[in-house]
Amino acid sequence: MSAAAPTSLTVRVLLFASYADHLGLETLDLTLTAPATVGAVVHRLRALPGGDQLPSKPLCARNLAHADAEEPVEQGDEIAILPPLAGG
Amino acid sequence: MEFITAEPIDLAPLLAAVRAPDRGGLACFLGLVRNHHEGRRVLRLEYSAYAPMAVAECGRIVAEAEARWRVAVALSHRVGSLAIGDTAVAVAAASAHRDEAFAACRYVIEEVKRRVPIWKREFYADGTAAWVDPTVKLQHA
C-alpha cells in the first residue's frame, strides 16, 4: 500500500500594490489542509487582519500564470493575489 | 530588449529588433504618462510589477501574436518612477504588409493591459497618491 497522502500543504503567498497595503505585508507562508485550491488560499487571507478588504474573487496566479479559484494548489506553490491590473 | 525594465525605453533597439528585409510594414504603439486622470492633475507615477510573472506573461503574449500573424514583435514595459510624457510601454510589430503589423500591435497592447501584472500609483498635484483601478472607471462608463 502506498504512503498516505499528506494532510497539509504550505504555499508561499505574494500580495501586491493595494492588497499589500490592506494586509500590511507582501509575502507570507500559508499552511492549508490538503487538498486545497487557489480559492481556499484567498478564503484564508480574507480572515487575516485587513483581509476583509480583499474581494472574494480576486485575480490570482499560481506559479507565474493566471489561475482560477478552482485550480488545485500543491506543496511549495507560489500563489499571487493580483489587484486590478493597470499596466500599459 | 527586456520585457520589463527600470531604464528609460529606447525606441531604436525596439524597432531594430523587428526590422528585416522581408518586412515592409512596421506598426508601433507607445503608451505615455498622462498629466491627468479623471479630472485630477497628475505630477508623476510609479509602476510596480510582479516581475517574474510579468516577464512570463509578456513572453506568452508575444508568442501568441507571432503564432497568429506572420509578424515579429518587440515589447517593453517600464517600471519605477516615471515623469509626465515618459514612455511607459512600447510595442513594435513588423510584417510583410501593414494589416498584419497593425493587427498584431493592437493585440499585444490590449493583452498587456488585460493580463500583465503591473500596477500604477499616481501622485497628484494636491499631494495625495492612489493606486489606479481601471475596473472602477469601467463601472462609471
- Secondary structure of residue B117 in the 3-state scheme: coil
Structural domain boundaries enclosing A40:
12-82
**Grid coordinates representing A74?**
500543491
Answer whether A83 touches B (CB < 8 Å). yes
Which residue of chain A has the CA closest to B56?
A64
Give me the interface pTM, i.e. the ipTM: 0.93
Which residues of chain B neighbour A17 with C-beta distances below 8 Å? Answer: 48, 119, 121, 131
Whether A22 is in a domain gets the answer: yes
B4-140: CATH class? alpha beta
| One-letter-per-residue 3-state SS of chain A | CCCCCCCEEEEEEEECHHHHHHHCCCEEEEEEECCEEHHHHHHHHHCCCCHHHCCCCCEEEECCEEECCCCEECCCCEEEEECCCCCC
> If you search the block for the grid coordinates 500599459, which residue do you land on?
A88
Which residue of chain A has the CA closest to B51?
A64
How many helices (H) does chain B have, and how many strands (E)?
A: 4, 9
Q: Each residue of A50-86: pLDDT tens digit?
A: 999 999 999 999 999 999 999 999 999 999 999 999 9
Which CATH number fits the domain that encloses residue A43? 3.10.20.30
What is the C-alpha to C-alpha distance for residues B88 and B131, in angstroms, rounded to an integer? 16
Whether A59 is in a domain gets the answer: yes
Mutation target to probe the A interface, by most A beta carbons within 10 A, among B4, B9, B53 is B53
The verdict on pTM exceeding 0.80 is yes
Give the CA-trace dihedral at B83, B114, B15, B88, to 10 degrees. Answer: 0
| Confidence band of B141 (pLDDT split at 50, 70, 90) | very low
Which residue of chain A has the CA closest to B77?
A88
Q: Each residue of B38-92: pLDDT tens digit?
A: 899 999 999 999 999 999 999 999 999 999 999 999 999 999 999 999 999 999 9
Domain boundaries, chain B: 4-140
What is the C-alpha to C-alpha distance for residues B65 and B72, in angstroms, rounded to an integer? 8
Helices (H), chain B: 11-18, 51-68, 98-115, 134-140
| Confidence band of B1 (pLDDT split at 50, 70, 90) | confident
> What's the number of domains chain A is made of?
1
Whether A5 is in a domain gets the answer: no
Interface contact flag, B117 A88, Cβ < 8 Å: no
Interface contact flag, A16 B121, Cβ < 8 Å: no
Interface contact flag, A86 B119, Cβ < 8 Å: yes
Interface contact flag, B134 A86, Cβ < 8 Å: yes
Minimal C-alpha gap between B111 and chain A (Å):
10
What is the C-alpha to C-alpha distance for residues B63 and B86, in angstroms, rounded to an integer? 27
Answer whether A35 touches B (CB < 8 Å). no
What is the C-alpha to C-alpha distance for residues B33 and B104, in angstroms, rounded to an integer? 23
Interface contact flag, A87 B49, Cβ < 8 Å: yes
